[in-house]
Amino acid sequence: MALALLQLCSLLYRSTDYPTILNHLAAAAEQIPSARLMAAKLRARTGDLKGAIQDMTRYPRVCPRDKRAETEATLREWEAKPANTSH
């Protein structure tokens, strides 16, 4: 599964086929929790703040404890942005 995530990361940085990347990340999220974080960051980067918040809301439940505070801070930052920045 680690190899699949590595390939997905490679695709993420070489492609602009965001729907395909997001589909792969969603499929991987159950076994690789960081895939949900990657999806949230991609959605935020492409302007889908509402989708980013939805993905990021799920991530703290499964993320490592040492990442939880940073994740929650990012989530609060995104939630504070104006609603018109989402799709």
The number of domains in the chain is 1
How far is the first Cα of the chain from the last one, in angstroms, to the nearest whole number? Answer: 31
* CATH number (domain holding residue 55): 1.25.40
Q: Is the pLDDT of residue 1 over 70?
A: no
pLDDT in tens, 22-37: 888 888 888 888 888 8
Token pair listed for 60: 């703290």
Q: Which residues form the domain of 44?
A: 2-85
Cα separation, 53 vs 16, whole angstroms: 21
pLDDT at 86: 44
pLDDT in tens, 38-82: 899 999 988 999 999 999 998 888 888 898 899 999 999 999 988
